[in-house]
Amino acid sequence: MLVHRNTTRPFLPTNVQSTAGSRGKGKIDPSRFGASIPLAVTESSGKPRPYRQGLVPNVSPLRPHCLARDRLRLWIPLTRRRAEDTYGPINISDDDLDRVLAVINVSWASGTRETYGSGLLIFHVFCDLRKISEAQRCLASSILMLTFISSCAGSYSGKTLVNYFVAIRAWHTLHGQPWNMDNTEMKAVLDGAAILAPPSSRRPKREPFTPKLIASIRTQLDLSNPLDAAVYACLTTTFWSTARVGEFTLPNLKAFDPRLHVKRGEDRHGLQVTVFNLPFTKCSASGEEVYWARQDGVFDPEAALSNHFRINDPPPDAPLFAWKHSQGLRPLTRTEFLKRLGLVATTLSIDSLKGHGIRIGATLEYLLRGVPFDVVKSIGRWSSESFTLYLRQHAVVMAPYMQGTPILEPFTRYTMLLLR
């Protein structure tokens, strides 16, 4: 299945002719500049929740109470980007500067901006307690950042503190302020903070989904029920395409945007694979393609998707896994999806199922089938070797390669990573 991607024609400067040129007879087309930016990717809806107890920043006109994902943009440093360069003022308006802010802001995915917003809050609460001036918060110095990270060590996980550090750097970048840090010192303090992380901050290892587990889940679902049909189709599609749960579900009922979320669209079936076009992903604003092939067994994604279309029949412009609710067609949200799996897990008396376990499980399944590492990397759309972390966490993957007579010996030279 192919869902068409929305694209915009790139700006081609060579097509513009100046009236000042000796040969130029055309006119500059002002419509090529200042095209409208979709509100869906620049503005957020909904009211911000009250700050948590103990994390309430001092009242400041520079930091309005807003949603966490909007703090990068709306929390303004004392010194901000100016309409001038080394040669003096430039004919640039406040609207131009706001547009620069908006365009840079959307370079981070909504979920990333939300994480960064949390880090920015912690940083400013720390600065309030230490009476750090606005000018010292931005431009932040190395000693301030070292002290901030050190103060948080023992209360937060290492990964969380790395995100907070990157959040403050992103805040500087967004508002046009230089970021000058001693990287050697910062790496040392972040490494130390990771060692000092409290046990409570370490999440339990997310167990991977397997075809056998998916088959067990199938026994607890009623595929004639609209919600169950959508959930099972989403589960099998997400698993066999090695996708993220958030790429096939929505964060809330009102979040659907056809420019950002996968729709049913038009079908185009190949001989062996079904392709899904994701218009927007965490790692690619221009979209990515994921795909699966038909499987033998009750966990077959093709059969699950066909059943979902038969039961729920979402229209072409609706979310792919929309389901028939008593109040009308409803998009499948991440919360609803995981809630239904959680109920099944309770019935089956197994540990709580986590969404990321689907992607982990799919990676392990393909590797156990002898699929080469580089192919699995391509299927999962990893740009680095980060997915090999799953190997260190799950000995079952490495076991076939470690036997006295390796079970996968014929495949080893094709699948194992090159030694460097």
pLDDT digits (tens, 9 = 90+) for 306-365: 999 999 999 988 899 999 999 999 999 999 999 999 999 989 888 777 888 898 888 888
Q: Are 394 and 208 in contact (CB under 8 A)?
A: yes
Token pair listed for 384: 């680095």
Q: What is the longest distance spanned by two Cα atoms in the chain?
A: 80
Task: Provide CB contacts within 8 A for 416, sequence distance 6+.
Answer: 373, 401
Of 101, 121, 106, the residue nearest 167 (C-alpha)? 121
pLDDT value at residue 388: 64
Side chain identity, residue 222? D
Cβ atoms 126, 156 nearer than 8 A: no
Q: Is 319 helix (H, G, I), strand (E, B) or coil?
A: strand
CB distance 112 to 156 below 8 Å: no
Residue 20: what pLDDT? 44
Q: What is the pLDDT of residue 200?
A: 75
Domain-wise residue ranges, the chain: 44-201, 211-361
Distance CA 308, CA 321 (A): 8
Task: Annotate 113-124 with three-state secondary structure.
Answer: HHHHHHHHHHHH
Q: Is the pTM of this model over 0.85?
A: no
Q: What's the CA gap between 7 and 280, in Å, rounded?
A: 11
Residue stretches of the chain with pLDDT short of 50: 1-22, 24, 266-272, 409-420
Three-state secondary-structure class, residue 325: strand
Exposed/middle/buried for residue 243 (C-beta within 10 Å: 0-12, 13-18, 19+): buried
Superfamily name with CATH number, domain 211-361: Intergrase catalytic core (1.10.443.10)
Instruction: Please give the pLDDT value at position 82.
Output: 81
